[in-house]
Amino acid sequence: MKSKIKQIIKFEFLRTAKTKGFIIGVILVPLLFLGSIAVTAFFAAMSNDHSEEEITIGVLTNEQQSTVFREVVGMIRIMDWKIVESADSALLRQMTFDKQINGYIKYDSVAGYSFYSDNYTDLYVSNTINGIVHNVNRHNEISHSGLSEEQVEKILNPPSVNTYKLSEEHPETAETSDVHEESFKRQMCGMAFAFLMLMSVMMFAQNIGQSVLEDKSTKIVDVLLTSVTPTQLLTGKIMGIGGAGLVQFLVWVLMAVFATNNADVAAIGSLSEFLTPQLFVLSSLYFVFGILTVMAVYAAIGSMAETQQHYNQLVSGISIFTSLPFIIITPVTLNPGSTFSVVMSMLPVFSSSLMPVRIIAGDVPVWQLLLSIVILVGTGFMIIKLAARIFRNGIMQQGKDFKFKDIFKLMKK
Amino acid sequence: MLQLNHITKNYGSFRAVDDLSFTAEEGKIIGIIGPNGAGKSTTIRLIMNILQPDGGEILINGKPYSDEDSDQIGYLPEERGLYKKQKVSEMLHYLGALKGMTKDDCEHQIDHWLNRFGLTEWKDKKVEALSKGMSQKIQFISSVMHSPKILFLDEPFSGLDPVSSDQLLAVIREMKEQGRIILFSTHVMETAEIICDHIIMLNHGHKILDGTIHDIKREFGSDTLTLDITGNHSFLQGIPAIVDVRERGNSLNIVFQKGTDINALIVEIVNKAFQNGCAISSLKVDEPSLHSIFVSIAGDKNESEPQK
């Protein structure tokens, strides 16, 4: 009988992997994913790069101009921006509308500094002017306070905090690193890793649901069940299609490692230092149990459906559970050590994707790893057993209009 | 030998099969017939071990069904059970492997049967490229290539032209000669009459007929004549003993009431044909057709049985 399961595994694996859709998915999807990040980063960088832009600022001159205001205008000139001075506000206003100047500034003793522009979204100019005004005024106030140059320098350039990451391997010395940059890298890596895992799981869960639906709607299931039991069929399908999912996931990860080793992703640099063998082993374990559990659920749902529409209606009943991990990834990535993150990474629905995020983010206590694995495996077996029962009862019933609530009826022996 | 002993199957409160017992022997073709909803499909699925009975037992050679017996069963479903995107050879290899065949055995049998049905050039084509008849032949190959001892054929001639039907029939008869148990289900009574040695008729989950074709026909007596006649034969409608007149090609099938004096009826028909200027070339008393037996029993039972 075991050889029959092997036959089903082999057949379902090849049936899934030998399709154009699979090959395109394995190669194109990560390229599209990375490409979209690169394109977005490129255009964002372009829109923030004003080095080539010629900026002209109008200055409304009046009798109330202070020395400080003149200093502000002087600082603007230092930035290689052009200045157009005029006492006529109507003229400067019209020049702004005509795009001859980017906007104009004025100063009066009541309203203080004002900058006028017709552009709401490009904050570069207004933010720069704001920064200049702030710095010039602060420097001016401190300079006239009677403090020494040294004291003024300390106020204007306060000391910063050097951040260190402790390591249990070196208790007497501390690792020194640029924690902020590393933290950002780890977050990006973790998020990307979790998305790849989730996408793989969901793609192949849908795959098995559709496969079971096809078996039932084409009546081939009757032929198959003369040779194998429903449990053997379910096992073979899950392992065959799940195997293809694991291959896809590993190819994606290897592509990501290759890409990050050979090209610095903008503002991220190499990520491969976080993709350790330990991470691969643990992630594979989480991935395998996660995908097996989700696939069993989708197979059970497929066994209840008669048509594609029927299947879609039934799947919508569990869509909240399948979409929640995508939402939770971000808060867990940003704060992997919080109670929320620890608890969510223990729950079987979420641990497959969230625990690797936490592993990448930093040291996860061994007891948490072990506990999450035990919960995942134990719950996974229970869900698979119940899903198998639903599959056994559902696959052999034809012409039934099962509703989502009928799942509980089908769970009975 | 296949034995069903007091088999019962319920779907909730609905009893699909009720206390069904029969025996299927080697070297016989057993027809399982009945109207829609009679319990045929459920019975088939119980025999194929797709469903488990709620009562009774199914024995193969005196022993309860075991996992090893699945390799000895071949099943041709009414609807095509093939993956459309797979190649013919891949599909047959898969189904053969699930029946415990080795790769070499599969290859040998696939080539043999494809050649037998003239489908060798379709070996590496996808199933979706096949016509309905070709798919049916491929499906048939998948059900017999592992040399099963028990073969269930559900509407095997569906979608086949007469030449292909004859090919299939020849194979079925060969298998019968080889001592296999062949269970045959169809709605086409004429086919069942030609092929089957023994008939099990179901209605509302009960067995209402069980016997050889010959015994069943003898039990129900003759009620039809076949008449070859030229001229206006509308006079036949006026003969009180005649229940129905059906045209079958160039002949007429005349159904008469049970208990009619056949000799008197023949004399009446001949006389009236002469009076109406008709010419009779042939007149034969038929055994009752399975179709008419089926209709009379199923019709009566449907009227008398309460709805479940």
Under DSSP, is residue A82 helix (H, G, I), strand (E, B) or coil?
A: strand
Give the least confident one: A363-367, A406-410, B134-138.
A406-410
Most confident among A1-15, B128-142, B205-219 (mean pLDDT)? B128-142
Cα–Cα distances (Å) from B50 to A136, A213, B70, in that order, read 86, 17, 10
The per-residue pLDDT of chain B, averaged, comes to 87
pLDDT, position A329: 84
Give the least confident one: A76-90, A168-182, B252-266.
A168-182
Total structural domains in chain A?
A: 2
Q: Report chain A residues whose CB lies below 8 A from the CB of B73.
A: 226
Q: Within a domain: residue A342? A: yes
Mutation target for B interface from A7, A20, A219, A227: give the one with most B CBs within 10 A. Answer: A227
Are the beta carbons of B72 and B147 closer than 8 angstroms?
Answer: no
Is pLDDT above 60 for A1?
A: no
B81/A220 CB distance under 8 A = yes
A214/B142 CB distance under 8 A = no
**Which chain B residues in 134-153 lie under 8 Å from chain A, judged by CB atoms?**
142-143
Q: Which two tokens stand for residue B76?
A: 């041709």
Q: What is the mean pLDDT of residues B172-200?
A: 89
Q: What is the mean pLDDT of residues B160-167?
A: 90
pLDDT in tens, B108-117: 999 999 999 9
Is pLDDT above 90 for A14?
A: yes
User: Is B227 near chain A, with CB under 8 Å?
Assistant: no
pLDDT, position B216: 80
Residues A101 and A206 in one domain: no
- Taking any CB pair shorter than 8 Å as contact, residues of chain A touching chain B are 1, 3-4, 7-8, 11, 15, 214, 218-229, 396
Under DSSP, is residue A86 helix (H, G, I), strand (E, B) or coil?
A: strand
Are the beta carbons of A267 and B110 closer than 8 angstroms?
Answer: no
Higher pLDDT, A22 or B122: B122
Residues in chain B: 308
Percent of chain B past pLDDT 70, that is, above it, reads: 96
pLDDT in tens, B70-107: 899 999 988 878 999 999 999 999 999 999 999 999 99
Residues A191 and A152 in one domain: no
Is pLDDT above 90 for B278?
A: yes
Is pLDDT above 70 for A149?
A: yes
A226/B94 CB distance under 8 A = no
Q: Which residue of A has its CA nearest to B99?
A: A227
Using pLDDT thresholds of 50, 70 and 90, give the confidence band for residue A125. confident
Q: What is the mean pLDDT of residues A266-286?
A: 69
The per-residue pLDDT of chain A, averaged, comes to 81
A220/B50 CB distance under 8 A = no
Is pLDDT above 50 for B164?
A: yes
The boundaries of the domain holding residue A143 are: 56-156
Q: Tell me which of A125, A156, A187 is where a domain ends.
A: A156
Residues A212 and A275 in one domain: yes
Q: Within a domain: residue A1? A: no
Q: Which residue of A has its CA nearest to B139?
A: A223
Is pLDDT above 70 for A168?
A: no
Percent of chain B past pLDDT 90, that is, above it, reads: 47
Which among B71, B81, B95 is the nearest to A218, CB-wise?
Answer: B81
Residues A319 and A223 in one domain: yes
B45/A396 CB distance under 8 A = yes
pLDDT, position B306: 43
pLDDT, position A391: 83
Is pLDDT above 70 for A117?
A: yes
Q: Within a domain: residue A22? A: no
A293, containing H or E segment: helix A277-304
pLDDT in tens, A21-77: 888 888 887 777 777 767 776 776 666 666 667 888 899 987 666 788 888 888 888
A227/B80 CB distance under 8 A = no
Higher pLDDT, A297 or B288: A297
Q: How far apart are CA A251 and CA A26, in angstroms?
A: 7
User: Is B82 near chain A, with CB under 8 Å?
Assistant: yes
**Residue B197: CB atoms within 10 Å:** 16
Q: Which two tokens stand for residue A221?
A: 């299931």
pTM for this prediction: 0.74
Q: What is the mean pLDDT of residues A229-254?
A: 87
Residues A98 and A192 in one domain: no
Residues A98 and A140 in one domain: yes
Residues A211 and A255 in one domain: yes
Q: Within a domain: residue A33? A: no
Residues A321 and A273 in one domain: yes
Burial A368-405 (b: 16+ CB within 10 A, else e): ebeebbeebbebbeebbebbbbbbbbbbbeeeeebeee
Is pLDDT above 50 for A202?
A: yes
pLDDT, position A409: 76
Which among A8, A220, A396 is the nearest to B50, CB-wise?
Answer: A396
Using pLDDT thresholds of 50, 70 and 90, give the confidence band for residue A178. low
Residues A226 and A112 in one domain: no
DSSP letter for each residue of A105-161: EEEETTTEEEEE-S-SS--HHHHHHHHHHHHHHHHHHHHTTT--HHHHHHHHS---P
Give the least confident one: A202-211, B173-182, B268-277.
A202-211
Query: DSSP secondary-structure letter at A19?
Result: S
pLDDT in tens, A374-404: 998 888 888 888 888 888 788 777 667 777 7
Distance of CA B179 to the CA centre of its chain: 19
Is pLDDT above 60 for A163?
A: yes
pLDDT, position B304: 45
Q: How far apart are CA B44 and CA B263, in angstroms?
A: 44
Cα–Cα distances (Å) from A41 to A75, A256, A361, in that order, read 31, 17, 23
User: Is B68 near chain A, with CB under 8 Å?
Assistant: no
ipTM, two decimals: 0.78
Q: Within a domain: residue A89? A: yes
Q: Within a domain: residue A165? A: no
Q: How many CB pairs under 8 A join A and B?
A: 64
Write down all domains in chain B, each with its CATH number in brackets: 2-217 (3.40.50.300), 222-286 (3.30.70.1340)
- CATH number at A85 reads 3.40.190.10
B77/A222 CB distance under 8 A = yes
Which among A7, A15, A220 is the nearest to B82, CB-wise?
Answer: A220
Q: Within a domain: residue A99? A: yes
Q: What is the mean pLDDT of residues B198-205?
A: 89
Is pLDDT above 50 for A115?
A: yes
Residues A214 and A276 in one domain: yes
Mutation target for A interface from B52, B91, B98: give the one with most A CBs within 10 A. Answer: B98
pLDDT, position A294: 87
Residues A337 and A406 in one domain: yes
Is pLDDT above 50 for B307?
A: no
Residues in chain A: 413
Residues A191 and A117 in one domain: no
B98/A4 CB distance under 8 A = yes
Alpha carbon of B78: minimum distance to chain A alpha carbons (Å): 9
Q: Within a domain: residue A49? A: no
Which among A221, A222, A227 is the nearest to B70, CB-wise?
Answer: A227
